[in-house]
Structure 1
Amino acid sequence: MIIDFEKIKEEVIHNFKGGEGELDTRNFVDENNKIMLSKLKPGASSGYHVHEQNCEIVYIISGEGYFKYDNIIERINAGKVHYCPKGHGHSMVNDGRDDLVYLAIVPELR
């Protein structure tokens, strides 16, 4: 199965999960996974949230910033992967000058 993000309508979300600024995202969702190609604008963030029922894998395509993972700050940039296991929390901040572009996968754990 090919997922063509160019054919998925882009959504603009302000203050994602209680964060700041703008997130542009194209999402594929089925009963097993949520797969998102997203851009976090400069100065924007996702709000801190805990993955109680699932986990999340985030591959950074371009840009830079950091995750607050539990109580740890972790710098990220292109080519790095952030993993938030079930039962842990995180938020993402784009403190760079360019869009922070990433592919995120949230499997629905059973």
Structure 2
Amino acid sequence: MIVRLSEIEPKEVVKPRDGRGSLINFGYEAATKFGGKIKMFSVVELKPDSKVGYHVHENDMEIYLILDGKAVVSDNGNEDLLGPGDMLITPKGEGHAIENKTNEPITFLAVIIE
């Protein structure tokens, strides 16, 4: 199966997870349709001066892979700066946030797994 970016309807999310600003979510929903453990597989563009608020993954885990830009992340309350190729893994029961403090969009892959 081939899924092209041009076939995906981008969705704007304002104040994601009680954060601020907005993001554009390119959800590759086809990746969730085969009975596997993937609940979400998305390329996300986090706008300048925007933040996905801190949240805990009670029943699943999430992975962020930074593709472009510099992101400030909270890994269970510990802040760090991530760049292209860096990954944040948030296991079940732990929490995270991601913030764009720059003047350019940040692009990252977000995957939620049961």
Q: What letter corresponds to residue 19 of structure 1 in structure 2?
A: G
3-state DSSP class of the match of 2:20? coil
How high is the TM-score relative to the length of structure 2? 0.88
- Pairwise CA RMSD of aligned residues? 1.3
- Secondary structure of 1:6's aligned partner: helix
- TM-score normalised per structure 1: 0.91
| Deviation of the 1:71 alpha carbon | 1.8
Q: Is the 8 A contact 2:28 2:42 kept in 1?
A: yes
- Could you give the per-residue CA deviations for residues 68-103 of structure 1, whole angstroms, max 9, x where no partner exists? 111200111111111111110011000122101011
1:14-61 CA distance string (max 9 Å, x none)? 000101001001112325321011100010000110011111111111
Corresponding residue of 2:46: 40
Equivalent position of 2:16 in the other structure: 16
Aligned length: 108
- 8 Å Cα contact 1:63-1:100 kept in structure 2: yes
- Structure 2 gap segments, 5+ residues each: none
In 2: Cα distance, 1:53 partner to 1:4 partner: 30
Task: List, as ranges, runs of 4+ consecutive aligned residues in structure 1 with deviation greater than 6 Å.
Answer: none
Identity of aligned residues (%): 26
What's 1:52 paired with? 58
Name the counterpart of 1:86.
Answer: 92
* Residue ranges of structure 1 left out of the alignment (5+ in a row): none
Match of 1:105 in 2: 111
